[in-house]
Amino acid sequence: MINNLVWEYESFVRYRLPACSRKAGNLIETSCTIIDLKGISISSASQVYSYVKETSYIGQNFYPERMGKFYLINAPFGFSTAFKLFKGFLDPVTVSKIFILGASYKSELLKQIPEENLPTKFGGKSEVDEREGGLLLSDIGPWREKQYIGPEGEAPHVFSMKK
């Protein structure tokens, strides 16, 4: 999973941000990440903390200031309390960008993400076909739209459900 994260960061910086900036007509330098913890128990929280710690380290040290907001939704009871013990290992700026939300997360997400861009599974209106890999493999965005692809070229298609 960590190798995939680094590949995603590289693609994000090289292809996605420039295309998003072209479409928006202004410079876009950060992202919004959502991790759904539905089904995760507090007993497996240490694995989640370990992953968040490692990914945060990579982000803050190799891709500084690329993380906009980082939402952990459907967090189990006690997760926020346990996170307080762990956050001392992270840069305070990084910690200020991490939001731990329970099951009532929709209104908070909509403060950051337009409803038409928020996937329906998170309460928005963006339809993503699960037969095409769903949110994980869909790779939809301006970096796939010809008019926004710049001199860097089109982002490589690394993951695909198509045969």
CATH code of the domain containing 94:
3.40.525.10
**Residue 163 has what pLDDT?**
45
Alpha helix (H) residue ranges in 25-133: 45-62, 79-86, 92-95, 106-112
pTM of the model: 0.81
Answer whether residue 128 is part of any domain.
no
- Which residues, at least 6 apart from 90, have a Cβ–Cβ distance to it below 8 Å? 53, 56, 57, 60, 98
What would the pLDDT profile of 92-144 be if each residue is shown by its tens digit?
Answer: 888 899 899 999 999 999 999 999 988 888 999 988 766 666 666 778 889 99
Distance CA(112)–CA(79), nearest Å, equals 22
**Residue 7 has what pLDDT?**
84
Count helices and strands in the chain by DSSP H and E runs: 7, 3
Answer whether residue 127 is part of any domain.
no
Query: What is the radius of gyration, based on Cα positions, of the chain?
Result: 16
- Which residues, at least 6 apart from 144, have a Cβ–Cβ distance to it below 8 Å? 154, 155
What would the pLDDT profile of 42-71 be if each residue is shown by its tens digit?
Answer: 777 677 778 877 887 888 888 888 888 989
Give residue 58's domain range: 2-112+140-148
**Domain count for the chain:** 1
Answer whether residue 153 is part of any domain.
no
Answer whether residue 19 is part of any domain.
yes
